[in-house]
Amino acid sequence: MSQAWWRGAAIYQVYLRSFADGNGDGAGDLTGLRGRLPYLKDLGVDAIWLNPWYPSPMADGGYDVADYRGIEPVFGTLGEAEKFIAEAHGLGIKVIIDVVPNHSSTASAWFQEALADPGARERFWFRDEPNDWQSIFGGPAWTQVADGQWYLHLFAPEQPDFNWDSAEVRADFEDVLRFWFERGVDGFRVDSAALLVKDETRWEDLDPVHDVYRRWREIADEYGDRILIGELWLPDQERFARYLRPDELHTAFNFDFLSCPWEPAELRRVIDLTLATHTPIGAPPTWVLANHDVTRPVTRYGRADTSFAHGGALHGSPSDPVLGVRRARAAALLAMALPGCVYVYQGEELGLPEVEDLPDAARQDPMYARSGGANRGRDGCRVPLPWSGAEPPYGFGGAPTWLPQPEGWAALTAEAQSADPGSMLTLYRRALSLRRELLGDGTMTWLDLGPGVLAFTRDSGLTSVTNLGAEPVRLPPGDPVLTSGPLTDGHLPADTTAWLYDRQT
Ligand code: NOJ
C-alpha cells in the first residue's frame, strides 16, 4: 500500500490576499482562487495551505483573528469557502488552513468582553504589572488598558495572547478544529505552535503545550487522514522532535533548511540533521525554501550572504539576479528530490524576486512600523501575483493592488512563462510531475562526487546531483530526465541540479 498522502505531498502555500482578485477590489479572494484552481492542478500540487482567511482587522495580515468560525468579508463568505473546498477536492487537491492558537485579535468578542469587564479576563494574560518581555515584532510585549491593567501580546498589540490555562480556551479551539474538519478541511497549519503555554518566567516550549497537541491529534484522528503541521522555530532538535511524536503533530516546517546558506557542507549538515531528527520518530521531513515571512529565494541566493536571517538584516544588500535565479532553480530540484514533503510558496514557481523598493507609505507589515522602520518587514514577499499582461495589475484583478506591483514583471507572468520551455514555471511543472511519477517513498543514499556536490539516490532509482562548486562535474550513470540549467559537454555546471533516472535500480 502506498504511504499516507501527507508523508510525501507537494504543498502549495496560498497567501490569499495576494493570489488572485475575483471582485476587482485590488485584494485577492476566494473567487480569484477558485478561478485559478486549474492552474494549481496543472502545476501538480497535492495540497494547498492557505494563510488565515478568517474575519480580521488585518493588523498582521490576518494573523489577528477576530472569529475563527467565519471568513473575512474581503475574501468571501463561508459558503464560498465550502465551495472552494469541494472544488479543490474535485481536482484531487487537499486543503489545509491556518489556525492561530497563540493569540487573538483585539476585535474579537472575547477581548472586547475582557476590556469591558475586568472579571472576564481569564482567557487572556492580564496582569497588574508588566514584566520585561519584548514583543517579537519589537517594543514591549505588554499594553495597558484604561483601568490600569496590562495584557500580554508576544506579537502586535492588536494580537492579545490567549491564556492556555483556561479550560474555556482549550475547549473552544477543539471546537474550532471540529468546525472546519466537518467542513472538509484536510488539516491545519498551527501558527506559533511552541508559544501557547507560558508561565511567569518563560513563553516558549513549555512542556504542557504537548497536552494540547495530544488532544488535537485525537480529534484529527477521529476524522481520519487529517493532519496537523507545526510552525516551530526551535533550534534544539531534540525539543523540536518532541512535537512530532506519533500522538502529536504530523509534521513541521523545516526552517533550518529554509535558512541555510547556499553552501554544500552546510546544506549536507542540515539535510543529515533533518533525517536524523525525523527518522527515529517516523515523522516525514519537510523541505521549505520560502514562505510569507522570509526573503524570496531568487533574491537571497543572488547575494554574497545567502542565508536567511530574521529582522531584515540583509534587506537591500546587492543581489545578482542571474545567479539568484540559477541557484533558486537548482535549489528547487534539490528540495523536491529529498524524502518527505515539499512546500512551494506562491510566486516561487514564477521565480518572483523580493520587492525591496516598495514605497514606505505602502508597507503594511507591523514589523516595519513597530521597529521604527529599521526592519523593512515582510511585504516584499507578499506582493500580488502577476498572471498575465504587460503592466500592473498583470491580470491579478482590480487596480490599485493592495501592495503595489513593480514595473518589469511582464516576463514573469504565469501566462508568459507557460509558453516558455526555459521558464521557472515550466521547471516547477515538470519537476512536480516527475516527482510524483519517479520519486516514490523510501529513503536516500548519499553518493560521493566530491566536496562541492550534493548527490544522492532515492530507492526508486532517481538520482539528484547538485553542483555547488565552481567546476563542472561529471554526472553518474542514468538518463538525465530533468536539469535546472543546460549541461556542458555532458557535465553539470556550477549552481545546477540534474535528476537522473536509472530504470534498472
Ligand atoms: C507566524 C506567521 O507566519 C507570521 O506571519 C505571523 O506574523 C506570526 N506567526 C504571528 O501570528
Any idea which fold 109-152 has? Oligo-1,6-glucosidase; domain 2 (3.90.400)
Q: What is the pLDDT of residue 504?
A: 57
Point out the ligand 1 atom lying closest to the alpha carbon of residue 103: 11
- The CA 166 to ligand 1 mean position distance, Å, reads 23
Is 191 assigned a catalytic role? yes
Look up residue 369 and give its amino acid: A
| Res. 1: pLDDT tops 80 | no
Ligand 1 in reach of 348 Cβ (< 6 A): no
Distance 51 CA to ligand 1 centre (A): 9
Residue 7 bridge partners (DSSP): none
Residue 222 catalytic?
yes
**271-276 long-range contacts, CB within 8 A, separation 24+:** 271/338, 271/454, 273/237, 275/339, 275/443, 275/444, 276/237
Residue 291 CB: number of other CB atoms within 10 A?
A: 22
Q: Which of 222, 305, 391, 437 is catalytic?
A: 222
- What per-residue confidence (pLDDT) applies to 471? 95
Cβ of 192 less than 6 Å from ligand 1: yes
Residues 125, 161 contacting (CB under 8 angstroms): yes
Contact predicate 73/165, CB 8 Å? no
Average of per-residue pLDDT across 451-478: 95
Centre of ligand 1 to C-alpha 135, Å, is: 12
pLDDT digits (tens, 9 = 90+) for 492-505: 999 999 999 987 54
- Which atom of ligand 1 is nearest the CA belonging to 378? 5
Across 164-200, b (16+ Cβ under 10 Å) vs e yields beeeebbebbeebbeebbeebbbbbbbbbbbbbbbee
Q: Tens of pLDDT along 326-381?
A: 999 999 999 999 999 999 999 999 999 999 999 999 999 999 999 999 999 999 99
Per residue in 475-490, pLDDT tens? 998 999 999 999 999 8
C-alpha cell at 109: 468578542
Per-residue pLDDT tens for 285-307? 999 999 999 999 999 999 999 99
**Stretch 74-100: mean pLDDT, rounded?**
98
Pocket test residue of 49, 192, 195 for ligand 1, highest count of atoms within 8 A of CB: 192
- Are the C-beta atoms of residues 155 and 135 closer than 8 Å to each other? yes
Q: What is the CA radius of gyration of the chain?
A: 23
Give the CATH superfamily of 5-101+168-429.
Glycosidases (3.20.20.80)
Question: What is the rounded distance in angstroms from the CA atom of residue 129 to the CA atom of residue 339?
Answer: 49
Distance 417 CA to ligand 1 centre (A): 31
Reported as a pLDDT band with limits 50, 70 and 90, residue 414 is: very high
pLDDT band at 407 (very low <50, low <70, confident <90, very high): very high
User: Is the per-residue pLDDT at 405 higher than 50?
Assistant: yes
Cβ–Cβ under 8 Å, residues 130 and 151: no
Write the pLDDT tens digit of every residue in 231-261: 999 999 999 999 999 999 999 999 999 999 9
Compute the distance between CA of residue 401 and CA of residue 28 in angstroms, rounded to an integer: 9
Report which ligand 1 atom has the smallest distance to the Cα of 366.
7
Q: Separation of 60 CA from ligand 1 center, angstroms?
A: 7
Is the torsion defined by CA of 177, 181, 183, 184 positive or negative?
positive
Examine the pLDDT at 3 and tell me if it is beyond 90: no
Average pLDDT score, the chain: 96
| Catalytic residue chosen out of the listed positions 161, 191, 354, 495 | 191
Distance CA 157, CA 5 (A): 39
Protein residue closest via CA to atom 4 of ligand 1: 293
Instruction: Quickly name the fold that domain 442-501 has.
Output: Immunoglobulin-like (2.60.40)
At residue 439, the pLDDT reads 87
Residue spans per domain, the chain: 5-101+168-429, 109-152, 442-501
Q: Is any atom of ligand 1 closer than 6 Å to the C-beta of 365? A: no
Q: Look at ligand 1, atom 2, and give the residue with the nearest C-alpha.
A: 191
Q: Is the pLDDT of residue 394 over 70?
A: yes
DSSP 72: -
> pLDDT tens digit string along 156-185?
999 999 999 999 999 999 999 999 999 999
**What is the DSSP track for 472-502?**
-EEPPSSEEEEESS--BTTEE-TTEEEEEE-
